[in-house]
Amino acid sequence: MVKRSDPVPADDVYDHRGDLESRLAAVLEAARASGADSTEAVVSLRSGLDVSVRLGEVETLEHQRDRVLALTVYFGQRKGTARTSDLGDQAIRETVAAACEIARHTEGDPCNGLADAALMPTELPELDLYHPWAMTPTAAMDMARSCEQAALALDPRIDNSDGASVATSRALRIYANSHGFTGTHAGTRHTISCAVIAREQDAMQRDGWYTVATRHAALESPELVGRQAGQRALARLGARRLDTCRAPVLFTPETARGLVSHLVAAASGGALYRRASFLCDRLGEQVTSPLVSLRELPHLPQAMGSAAFDGEGVATQARELVSAGVLRGYVLGSYAARRLGMRSTGNAGGVHNLTLAPGHHDFAGMLAEMGEGLVVTHLMGQGVNTVTGDYSRGAAGFWVSGGEIAFPVEEITIAGNLGDMWRDVVAVGNDPDLRGNIRTPSLLIGGMTIAGQ
């Protein structure tokens, strides 16, 4: 059996690696003995600490420790899946039997099966994703209180809180299949967050901030997170409604991430083979402004979305999704790829560090570039149709005049068509938000309908 893994320092989660690999080997053998032609299985173990406080009082203090085994068996092109949180020998035997029984009674699908063996990695990069944080509950409580207090002390108008939280988790995931591939992925995730409420006369506004990283040393300080949360809530006081109009719209990095995720959804296999996407049959065509380039970078050290292989064991690799506005690739797992007559792109489970190439302006420069229009800082609702591209969502943010923020706005709706919006990108910022799996700076759309009063 070929074994590849990310080098990781030992700790209480990773110490279980040998036992979990043995159990996966037993699962594969039990499935083979039961008549399965091929099998894949994944076992994951996660532990963590989560503390939240509100107005100085501890609201939650949770230690988590979860584990799960999931397997898929194939009898020819008939498929059965089962999972269990009990990793005892008897439970494993029963889970394998359940998956095999399901497979025997399902209809075959010619696109079912393991990902192609040739797509499995033979070498894995060092991604440096595992950095446990030895934090006590008391230290976490103190940190959360410091975060919240920094927000409340900022201004007397901040008179209430939705709380502050500190969380740390470590996870180990081992994937194995009957091609002979076994891969180990271990990672940590640490977060500090805060949300507060500002009040002025009868008006109230809520806002927050958070920081997240694989290394706790890379987090913003609790006090900075609290101050950011407070400043954002204060900035929204005095919000107005707008008259219905058409104007340029600047999406902040946090909200621009949503636009990219809608584009990814339209470029994903499930939507494509169902013919439920406005990007069907658009490979090689101009689908966005030439200012837009999207590149997947799965091997960035310490990044939130880094992975050496996807959920089916397919090797990940850097690739262009959109290059100067031209659609260069889709987002495919093996099943969707077969339905489309293509190959898996290593995206079973999603994209990995999908990065929008930055432009030349910082945020102030983007405001100046826009001159007059709307900055969107918050989006509400789910009014996005990837079949037609129709886009309509509730929004809040700021009106800009003369290249500077004039006043906050709320209770508006922005509407357009995703295809038109992406082709109408007139500027890209150099202020990327790196806190997630989709890494994007601010985006300026030349014009959208803004529905107000």
Which residue blocks in 236-347 are alpha helix, DSSP H? 253-266, 269-273, 334-339
Residue 403, classified by CB atoms within 10 Å of its CB into exposed (0-12), middle (13-18) or buried (19+), is middle
∠ Cα 429 430 435 (to 5°): 100
Cα–Cα dist 368/389, whole Å: 29
3-state class (DSSP) for residue 230: helix
- Contact predicate 255/377, CB 8 Å: yes
Q: How many angstroms separate the Cα of 42 from the Cα of each of 69, 85, 230?
A: 6, 12, 42
Give the pLDDT confidence score for residue 202 in this predicted structure. 86
Give the pLDDT confidence score for residue 1 in this predicted structure. 33
Encoded tokens for 102: 């399901």
3-state class (DSSP) for residue 201: coil
Q: Boundaries of CATH 3.30.2290.10 in the chain? A: 2-235
- Contact predicate 374/250, CB 8 Å: yes
Closest CA relative to residue 279, chosen from 244, 322, 239, 315: 322
Residue position matching structure tokens 């919240």: 148
The whole model's pTM is what? 0.93
Closest CA relative to residue 263, chosen from 304, 213, 251: 251
Residue position matching structure tokens 């089962």: 82
Which residues of the chain register pLDDT less than 70? 1-14
Cα–Cα dist 373/369, whole Å: 10
- Contact predicate 47/12, CB 8 Å: yes
3-state class (DSSP) for residue 310: coil
3-state class (DSSP) for residue 341: coil
* Cα dihedral sign, 21-89-86-48: negative
Residue 308: φ, ψ to 5°: -85, -20
pLDDT digits (tens, 9 = 90+) for 82-121: 999 998 899 999 999 999 999 999 999 999 999 999 999 9
Closest CA relative to residue 299, chosen from 185, 447, 220, 391: 185
Give the pLDDT confidence score for residue 12 in this predicted structure. 61
Give the pLDDT confidence score for residue 131 in this predicted structure. 95
Long-range contact set of residues 405-411: C-beta below 8 Å, sequence gap at least 24: 405/367, 405/375, 407/238, 407/239, 407/240, 408/205, 408/235, 408/236, 408/237, 408/238, 408/239, 408/240, 409/239, 409/240, 409/241, 409/242, 409/374, 409/452, 410/236, 410/239, 410/240, 410/241, 411/241, 411/452
Residue 182: φ, ψ to 5°: -130, 130
pLDDT digits (tens, 9 = 90+) for 22-74: 899 999 999 999 999 999 999 999 999 999 999 999 999 999 999 999 999 99
Residue 256: φ, ψ to 5°: -65, -30
CATH number for the domain whose boundaries are 2-235: 3.30.2290.10
Cα–Cα dist 417/389, whole Å: 5
